[in-house]
């Protein structure tokens, strides 16, 4: 478990670009007026990778802001779970979470999003969004938003959905001569676009686009006999 404090007035950016035993678990406390932005990228190549990512963040001082942006492409027999816990323990905090996953092959993904607003944490503004696309019939994604809101004067919203690639868009693109794998890549790049733009750095964005393309075209785990 990595433990960390974002001190009063500090701005910190945590980028987890590779998930490993060393980078998976975080317990972070934010003091007043601090801003924490976390970017999480689950784009592992190892077909048997299995990780439990935990981001446990507590706003202990007022006027703190927490942003969690994440994306993942799970393939092969990977098993990745992402657990975010954002605790608003004091008033006037803000948090926003946007996490998107594409799951292929026989991979299993899970998202548990805990959002806890303490009884006296009035004027909290918190959002949580989780969107997922399943790319094969054997792929699974479990999503579980868990909001515990004990204060009454807050703005909190959440949304979660799991779907498939839009077949009509796929056919439309094929009718224009675009191969299905290229069409899927364009559609998934579009799916991840809003997460990538939160990086605010075109060069990093471009590098990640390439990693996304690689992860999508990576040969599947040896699931056939």
Partner 1 sequence: MLEIRNLHASIAGKEILKGINLHIGAGETHAIMGPNGAGKSTLSAVLTGNPAYTVTEGEVIFRGKDLLSMSPEVRAREGLFLSFQYPVEIPGVSMTNFMRAAVNAKREHQGLPALSAGEFLKLMRAKRALVELDNKLAGRSVNEGFSGGEKKRNEIFQMAMLEPCLSILDETDSGLDIDALRIVAEGVNKLHTAENATIVITHYQRLLDYIVPDFVHILADGQIVRTGGKELALELEQTGYAGIV
**Residue ranges that bind partner 1, judged by CB under 8 A:** 166, 168-169, 171-180, 182-183, 186-187, 189-191, 193
Between 22 and 176, CB nearer to partner 1? 176
Compare residues 15 and 178 and give the one whose CB is closer to partner 1. 178
Least distance in angstroms from the C-beta of 85 to partner 1: 30
Cβ 196 to partner 1 shortest distance, Å: 11
CA separation for the pair 86, 116 (Å, rounded): 6
In the complex, the smallest distance separating the C-beta of residue 214 from partner 1, rounded to whole angstroms, is 18
**Cα–Cα distance between 87 and 110 in angstroms, integer?**
20
What Cα–Cα distance (Å) separates residue 40 from each residue in 86, 154, 182, 185?
15, 27, 25, 20
We find the least distance from the C-beta atom of residue 180 to partner 1, in angstroms, to be 7
In the bound complex, what is the minimum distance in angstroms from residue 170's beta carbon to partner 1? Answer: 9
C-alpha to C-alpha distances, 148 to 26, 84, 142, 223, nearest whole angstrom: 21, 13, 19, 40
Q: Which tokens go with 74?
A: 């799970």
- Cβ closer to partner 1: 168 or 222? 168
Give every CB contact of residue 71 below 8 A, 6+ residues apart in sequence: 40, 41, 42, 43, 99, 100, 101, 192, 195, 196, 212
- Between 26 and 191, name the residue whose CB sits nearer to partner 1: 191
Residue closer to partner 1 (CB basis): 18 or 193: 193
Distance in angstroms (rounded) separating the CA atoms of residues 165 and 181: 12
Query: How near is the Cβ of 183 to partner 1 at its closest, in Å?
Result: 8
Nearer to partner 1, 153 or 181 (CB): 181
């Amino acid at each position: 478990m990595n433990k960390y404090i974002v001190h009063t007035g500090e701005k910190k950016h945590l980028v987890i670009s590779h998930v490993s035993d060393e980078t998976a678990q975080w317990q972070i406390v934010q003091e007043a007026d601090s801003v924490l932005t976390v970017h999480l990228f689950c784009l592992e190549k190892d077909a048997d990778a299995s990780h439990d990512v935990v981001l446990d963040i507590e706003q202990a001082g007022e006027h703190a802001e927490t942003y969690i942006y994440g994306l993942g492409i799970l393939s092969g027999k990977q098993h990745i779970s992402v657990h975010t816990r954002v605790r608003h323990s004091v008033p006037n905090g803000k948090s926003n979470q946007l996490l998107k996953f594409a799951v292929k092959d026989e991979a299993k993904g899970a998202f548990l999003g805990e959002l806890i607003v303490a009884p006296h944490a009035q004027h909290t503004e918190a959002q949580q969004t989780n969107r997922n696309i399943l790319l094969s019939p054997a792929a699974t994604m479990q999503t579980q938003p868990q909001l515990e809101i004990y204060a009454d004067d807050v703005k909190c919203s959440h949304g979660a959905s799991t779907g498939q690639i839009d077949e009509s868009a796929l056919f439309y693109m094929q009718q224009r001569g675009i191969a299905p794998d290229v069409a899927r890549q364009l559609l998934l790049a579009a799916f991840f676009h809003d997460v990538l733009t939160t990086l605010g750095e075109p060069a990093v964005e471009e590098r990640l686009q390439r990693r996304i393309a690689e992860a999508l075209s990576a040969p599947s785990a040896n699931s056939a006999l």
